[in-house]
Structure 1
């Protein structure tokens, strides 16, 4: 390593001992300028937990990101063929870290937004068996790096995620987070855009324990490349939330929609019946037609709700099977990997 060893100030010895393998993964796309600062801030050892290994996932960079990672002694470099997006890079990194035998996986960004000094704070609750996932709370309402509009978006988005997932997260879209091995095995990101919201909703549906800890942040080094504008970012997140509702809560989502359409459909029908009762129904047949269409649509939506629930049950069974297969593959890969392998470059 070309950067010094930093230990945490907390020297307590936890019950987990020094046997946990921590891998910090950094998805990168053209981060050659900021990557050295990110690497320099990551501790090599977390006292009371264990050593830290670093994994860089290069998402088709056309600058010197890979060369910078090699010069700074990164343990594992995962190189993707082309730019596949942040969510795909995150998923690839999680799966690779599991095959390497990681007990705790920390995800951070390559733009030096998050302070590596806060990594022990993310790891500690998992090492102490108090949490499955730990979120790095940037405290958007207090951060000087957030504009008033961005703070508003953060509050609204976090409340929506809280309602959908049941997880109290004040900074739902933070990319600075830690996963236990078991929670990482259950992660399957379906979108290409971003993993933050989808994985939280999934964690809530699986009943995982998610907590937030305050973390330090650095001043922005460049505008976010995740979306070309705030409007685009918000629209993509809304689509992700809607898809997650259909995927993880199909019965509730379609049932509410079906009942709502049925209630709305009753209004024009009752209106027609009123005019019919007073002898003026001939001029209001359109109300009857509209109400009938809405009632029929509501009925079919309710049917779809129960069919979707059956499909959702099968999805859960498939998901459990996939998790078991991942666990078997990860354990097999861990056994055959060298104990002290040099820095590796893998291609996806």
Structure 2
């Protein structure tokens, strides 16, 4: 069982030693523990310090690409090297790396595909009351979109099984945390939470300038993921809203017509017609989104198969049974056939009876 602990870093020379030194050297049930540092365009000595501390696995970005891209590239690197479990932590030493053993245990026990460290945000001293409230609201929104019951959906301290990573596809450019939960929930992956406590704050977040930017970008990512998996709920609600908006002015106009004073209220027909057009467009979007969802499901199924083939360990090939695909991938297997197969067949005498 091979575990990769990946650490996205952007100028983390001050805190990276504490992170690396607190990662467990041995975990029951884990045969190999590897540390992967993802350098997201650091300009300080982050990489040099990691090498001095014995880190041998690196992913380099020549410029800052963001947390979501760092996560994707780290996962790709780990899977290519046979990772069975990938744990994601942070380079600012926010998370307690000594709890990694508890984080991976549900995966080792085959009771979960993804495990999230619950920071118990209500107890974090440096979180303001407003931030604590927004964290709780955000988790509720994500749980509604994913059909889950996670207390801390925004936590980046997570463990993923190899199979779960085959099924997840991060497309956002901001933060993968919300998107992966919504995908995992709608794909019926097993998700568990493990309560953890956070370390003292070392710096301000670099993902966003303020809480309102974080709320806006997270809200956009949640809505995009929700529409991706549940388009009927969104567009049927819009269609019902527009239909109601059309029914009220049309009904008003009919009543006024019956009363003989409809001539001064043509605007009701105009507004009602606009609402009716909106209703019809929403219904059309349901049909389109359903076709897109079907296509996405087929594409993701093929992508999952491609990942399984791409990251599969090299299988042993019997040289006596070589397929065409094996021959293309391994030309050395095209050995000279035995003499019995290359000996020319005896010529048949055409005059023989």
Q: After superposition, where does 1:89-108 map in structure 2 within 5 Å? A: 89-108=70-89
Which whole-Å CA distance do the structure 1 matches of 2:236 and 2:77 have between them? 39
The answer as to 2:191 corresponding to 1:210 is yes
The answer as to 2:66 corresponding to 1:85 is yes
* Partner SS for 2:311: helix
Deviation at 1:189, TM superposition (A): 1.1
Which whole-Å CA distance do the structure 2 matches of 1:44 and 1:164 have between them? 37
Q: After superposition, where does 1:113-152 map in structure 2 within 5 Å? A: 113-152=94-133
Contact 2:82 2:313 in 1 (8 A): no
Alignment match of 2:181 (pick from 182, 200, 203): 200
* Partner SS for 2:281: helix
Contact 1:100 1:333 in 2 (8 A): no
Aligned equivalent of 2:229: 248
Rg comparison, structure with higher value: 2
Alignment match of 2:26 (pick from 24, 45, 49): 45
Alignment match of 1:170 (pick from 151, 154, 179): 151
Which whole-Å CA distance do the structure 1 matches of 2:39 and 2:236 have between them? 43
Aligned equivalent of 1:343: none
Deviation at 1:252, TM superposition (A): 2.0
The answer as to 2:319 corresponding to 1:330 is no
Q: Deviations over 1:202-260 (max 9, x none)?
A: 00110101111101210110011110111100000011111112222222211221221
The answer as to 2:60 corresponding to 1:61 is no
Which whole-Å CA distance do the structure 2 matches of 1:267 and 1:332 have between them? 64
TM-score of the aligned structures, taking structure 2 as reference length: 0.87
Aligned equivalent of 1:290: 271
Aligned equivalent of 1:222: 203
Deviation at 1:121, TM superposition (A): 1.0
Aligned equivalent of 1:299: 280
Which whole-Å CA distance do the structure 2 matches of 1:253 and 1:332 have between them? 42
Which whole-Å CA distance do the structure 2 matches of 1:259 and 1:22 have between them? 49
Deviation at 1:50, TM superposition (A): 3.0
* Partner SS for 1:61: coil
* Partner SS for 1:328: helix
Aligned equivalent of 2:322: none
The answer as to 2:248 corresponding to 1:258 is no
Which whole-Å CA distance do the structure 2 matches of 1:221 and 1:328 have between them? 41
Deviation at 1:332, TM superposition (A): 4.7
* Partner SS for 2:149: coil
Pick which of 185-194 and 107-116 moved more.
185-194
* Partner SS for 2:165: helix
Contact 2:120 2:197 in 1 (8 A): no
* Partner SS for 2:265: helix
* Partner SS for 1:82: coil
Q: Residues 212, 240 of structure 1: CA spacing in aligned structure 2 closer, same or farther, 3 A cutoff?
A: same
- Report how many aligned residue pairs link the two structures: 316
Q: Deviations over 1:97-149 (max 9, x none)?
A: 11111111000000000011111111000000000100000001122232211
Which whole-Å CA distance do the structure 1 matches of 2:283 and 2:308 have between them? 37
Contact 1:44 1:53 in 2 (8 A): no
Which whole-Å CA distance do the structure 2 matches of 1:204 and 1:48 have between them? 27
Unpaired segments of 5 or more residues in structure 2?
A: 317-353
Aligned equivalent of 2:7: 26
Deviation at 1:164, TM superposition (A): 0.4
Contact 1:126 1:180 in 2 (8 A): yes
Deviation at 1:276, TM superposition (A): 1.0
